[in-house]
């Protein structure tokens, strides 16, 4: 079992894994409230990537990853996931630009 | 003993071999079969699973892409040239009960939003950042933020 310490590396590798084999790749989440632990696993039955945490901030990151996987699985492995990540940036940018133009 | 009893029933009356195996498994492990639900009842059941497992136990949620058709059907569809509609299969279990649902392209955003709300509401046992770490993180974030903002602008 490969536990990955860096969140970004985990996300990148799991998306790569999914795109390489969308038929057999699955994303599993295990949550234990009594211990306050969250474990994420992405596997294609050949390679396994895991990420464990007990931090609340990682729950938010996990939600973003959920969005990414939902989009990839429902729309297809070639779906543009920058939509998911890009939406947040797009929401943030117009407000900044607006202020800049008014000035 | 119980399995032996089931096998006798199998020989006596017309219970299929698969049923005997299934029943034997249920009796042995106490696990029931997977229940396939619509997205909304699935979310309700998932909420109750989280609520039940606060004192002890875990909740597992698995996401997988599936067309919900057997390989034979898929190959037939490929040769016929018709597009295969994929759905996102979501399974959840608390170790004893398993529930499942499949989400298509149209409902996935709505399901995703509700699912995220449920997770946020229940994953409350995770540790929040300590103040010492926060101060250091804020300092490092500011430095990173400044260096990141410049290339964007």
Chain B residue nearest residue A35, CA to CA: B125
pLDDT band at A30; cut points 50, 70, 90: very high
Residue B134: strand, helix, or coil: helix
* All structural domains of chain B with their residue ranges: 32-123
Contact indicator for A8, A58 with CB cutoff of 8 Å:
no
Is the domain defined by A7-76 classed in CATH 3.30.420.40? no
Chain A residue nearest residue B54, CA to CA: A33
Tokens encoding B39 = 């997205």
What is the C-alpha to C-alpha distance for residues B100 and B80, in angstroms, rounded to an integer? 30
Residue B33: strand, helix, or coil: coil
Q: Which of A25, A29, A36 is closest, CB to CB, to B127?
A: A36
CB pairs under 8 A between A and B: 106
Question: A26 at the B interface (CB within 8 A)?
Answer: yes
One DSSP character per residue, A56-80 reads HHHHHHHHHHHHHHHHHHHH-TTS-
Per-residue pLDDT tens over the stretch B58-104: 899 999 988 777 777 778 877 777 777 788 889 999 988 999 998 88
ipTM of the complex: 0.77
Q: Determine phi and psi for B84, rounding to 5 degrees.
A: -90, 125
Residues of A within 8 A of B62 (CB-CB) are 26-29
The CATH architecture to which B32-123 belongs is 2-Layer Sandwich (3.30)
* All structural domains of chain A with their residue ranges: 7-76
Question: Pairing state of beta strands A48-53 and A2-3?
Answer: parallel
Question: B68 at the A interface (CB within 8 A)?
Answer: no
Per-residue pLDDT tens over the stretch A33-80: 888 899 999 999 999 999 999 998 898 899 989 988 888 887 777 777
Flag if B62 and A57 touch (Cβ within 8 Å).
no
In terms of C-beta density within 10 A (0-12 exposed, 13-18 middle, 19 or more buried), how is residue A48 classed?
Answer: middle
> With b meaning 16 or more CB within 10 Å and e meaning fewer, what string describes A83-102?
ebeeeeeeeeeeeeeeeeee
Per-residue pLDDT tens over the stretch B41-61: 999 999 999 988 888 888 999
Flag if B62 and A26 touch (Cβ within 8 Å).
yes
* Global confidence as pTM: 0.70
Roughly what angle, to the nearest 10 degrees, separates helices B108-122 and B39-52? 10
Q: How close A82 gets to chain B, by Cα (Å)?
A: 15
Q: How close A95 gets to chain B, by Cα (Å)?
A: 14
């Amino acid at each position: 079992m490969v536990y990955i310490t860096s969140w970004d590396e985990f996300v990148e590798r799991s998306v790569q894994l999914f795109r390489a084999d969308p038929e057999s790749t699955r994303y599993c989440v295990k949550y234990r409230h009594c211990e306050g632990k969250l474990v994420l696993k992405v596997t294609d039955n050949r390679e396994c990537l895991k990420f464990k945490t007990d931090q609340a901030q990682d729950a938010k990151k996990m939600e973003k990853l959920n969005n990414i996987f939902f989009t990839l699985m429902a729309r297809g492995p070639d779906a543009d996931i920058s939509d998911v990540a890009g939406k947040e940036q797009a929401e943030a940018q117009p407000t900044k630009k607006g202020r800049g133009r008014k000035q | 003993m119980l399995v032996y009893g089931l096998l006798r029933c199998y020989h006596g009356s017309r219970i299929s071999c698969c049923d005997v195996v299934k029943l034997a498994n249920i009796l042995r492990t106490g696990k029931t079969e997977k229940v396939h639900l619509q997205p909304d009842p699935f979310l309700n059941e998932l909420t109750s699973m989280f609520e039940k497992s606060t004192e002890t136990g875990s909740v597992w949620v698995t996401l997988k892409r599936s067309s919900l058709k057997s390989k034979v059907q898929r190959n037939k569809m490929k040769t016929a040239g018709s597009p295969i509609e994929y759905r996102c299969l979501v399974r959840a279990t608390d170790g004893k009960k398993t529930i499942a649902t499949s989400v298509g392209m149209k409902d996935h955003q709505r399901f995703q939003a509700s699912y995220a709300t449920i997770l946020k509401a229940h994953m409350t046992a995770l540790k929040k950042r300590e103040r010492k770490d926060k101060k250091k993180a804020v300092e490092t974030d500011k430095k990173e933020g400044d260096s990141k903002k410049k290339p964007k602008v």
